């Protein structure tokens, strides 16, 4: 099994031979490159880590949603303080993970 990358959109796929058309953007196979073993290994090695970062983004988004619901209830100032602080921290976590994913993409670890 080989790993190919569409140079038009960056979509990566496994196949024995290049597909006629990119499943993502439809670019013809002349636009698909066979990744070197080194480049393929970067993608496989970072796959799980990328998934974990995306999960952090999702969890942080859930924390923000929960905190916004808590602020709306507005039970008491202590509650609101916790929810407001949570929103700030979750926002930071979310953006830390997004920044790391951005770095992975620029280094071919995606
Ligand atoms: Zn494509």
Locate the domains of the chain by residue range. 1-35, 45-110
24 CA distance to ligand 1 middle (Å): 5
pLDDT of residue 89: 98
pLDDT at 20: 98
CA–centroid distance, 9 to ligand 1, in Å, is 4
The Å distance, Cα 15 to ligand 1 centre, comes to: 15
Lowest mean pLDDT among 38-42, 78-82, 95-99: 38-42
- The CATH number of domain 1-35 is 2.60.40.150: no
Q: At what angle do helices 37-73 and 77-106 cross, to 10 degrees?
A: 160
How many angstroms does the Cα of residue 44 sit away from the middle of ligand 1?
Answer: 19
Beta-bridge partners for 28: 21
């Amino acid at each position: 099994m080989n790993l190919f990358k569409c140079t038009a959109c960056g979509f990566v796929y496994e196949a024995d031979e290049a597909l006629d058309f990119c499943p993502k953007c439809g670019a013809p196979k002349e636009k698909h490159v066979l990744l070197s073993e080194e480049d393929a290994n970067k993608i496989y090695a970072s796959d799980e880590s990328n998934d974990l970062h995306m999960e952090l983004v999702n969890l942080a988004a859930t924390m923000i949603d929960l905190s916004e619901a808590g602020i709306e209830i507005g039970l008491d100032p202590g509650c609101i303080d916790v929810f407001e602080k949570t929103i700030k921290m979750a926002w930071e976590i979310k953006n830390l993970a997004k920044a790391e994913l951005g770095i992975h993409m620029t280094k071919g670890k995606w």
